[in-house]
Structure 1
């Protein structure tokens, strides 16, 4: 798992200047140091699988380039909040919101997990494509891949309930390269139970990777 992640990190480090990429029939801005969606097959899958709440509110944790947040706005969400710990990612999200004419719909904030939010911020859908690899990140870019001790996952499950509307949905993008039983255990510690919404197995260099969209509901 770490070998796959380090290979992908190395490909990202080759992106040294701003550029554009194409995904889902649209053109997107990409800044150096930001996770590049077109380098992973999961990006298009999650974009198509997500249940964007029509006329509702959507929050993306770890927005990166902001392509999911932009799509949420384009597909009818009344308000979108995009969060990322990386200043470069926050700026990249703003660029793509402006590029696609939805800057007035998307609020972008920089901070760790839900830290930029207030107690009054609540959403119909919260989504995170998580950094599922166990390991110590060397910099902010590697935070997109590595979660030491799964601490970020624990924070996600600890704090998400405070920001969901009644009946709101908590969604996580994951893969079979990560430790899903550990994720389920962390979720249970904070009162959540998991269900698999969608899954797809895609060819990879050394076999296959299964991408999974999980939904978490309150236990009990």
Structure 2
């Protein structure tokens, strides 16, 4: 498996750069970034996965782990009628709401503090459920902060829950999607999905040159076995 200490080092370096609210630029758009929130400016994965997504224009979209709101706000700007964005990091929930307001889509985006699906309450089912996951495995006993949780998943517990619970929140004919990378333990994740009666089907991929070498980013659909 990929060395989980490497993303933890990237988390530490990225977090140390932001001690107060700041602006980041992504493809000509300026976004608010709050302290302790995953920065898409420090990871090529965010834009790579954004390029792979096809939003349900006119439909509804749920993002798990919204961070700054890059994906959720982009979904609203692309024409999604209603977007829910969840994150277990309270700073990320505020950050998503700030960027939704900044881009004039606050009426379309609902930002909720939630550990995966726990905080959705009676929200209706969605046309697309999406998670750009923290897909690097880490030891289950690892004690980490919420910023580091954007990079690694101790024991793959969050992935196990996603495979078990996501389908309960998707509308008939909708999709459950997960964004992974070649840093993920793909065989282990496929086993976890199968244990929950699910399989992973590749939708699209892209390869990005990273400092450590080429990284493959994958958009996968979680489908019933």
1:117 to 120, 137, 141: 120
1:152 to 158, 169, 173: 158
1:128 to 112, 116, 131: 131
Contact 2:15–2:37 under 8 Å retained in 1? no
User: What is the RMSD computed on CA atoms of the aligned residues?
Assistant: 1.3
Contact 1:24–1:44 under 8 Å retained in 2? no
User: Within the alignment, does 1:23 sit opposite 2:23 as a pair?
Assistant: no
TM-score, normalised by the number of residues in structure 2? 0.93
In the other structure, the counterpart of 1:170 is 176
Could you tell me how far 1:120 is from its partner in structure 2?
5.0
SS of match in other structure, 2:92: helix
Equivalences for residues 1-220 of structure 1 within 5 A: 1-14=3-16, 15-118=18-121, 121-135=124-138, 136-219=142-225
Q: Which moved more, 1:73-82 or 1:210-219?
A: 210-219
Matches of 1:45 and 1:62, distance apart in 2:
16
Matches of 1:120 and 1:89, distance apart in 2:
20
Matches of 1:206 and 1:45, distance apart in 2:
16
TM-score, normalised by the number of residues in structure 1? 0.95
Contact 1:192–1:217 under 8 Å retained in 2? yes
Number of paired residues? 219
Matches of 2:212 and 2:32, distance apart in 1:
30
Tell me which of the two structures has the higher relative contact order, counting C-alpha pairs closer than 8 angstroms and 6 or more residues apart. 2
SS of match in other structure, 2:167: helix
Which 4+ stretches in 1 moved above 3 angstroms? none
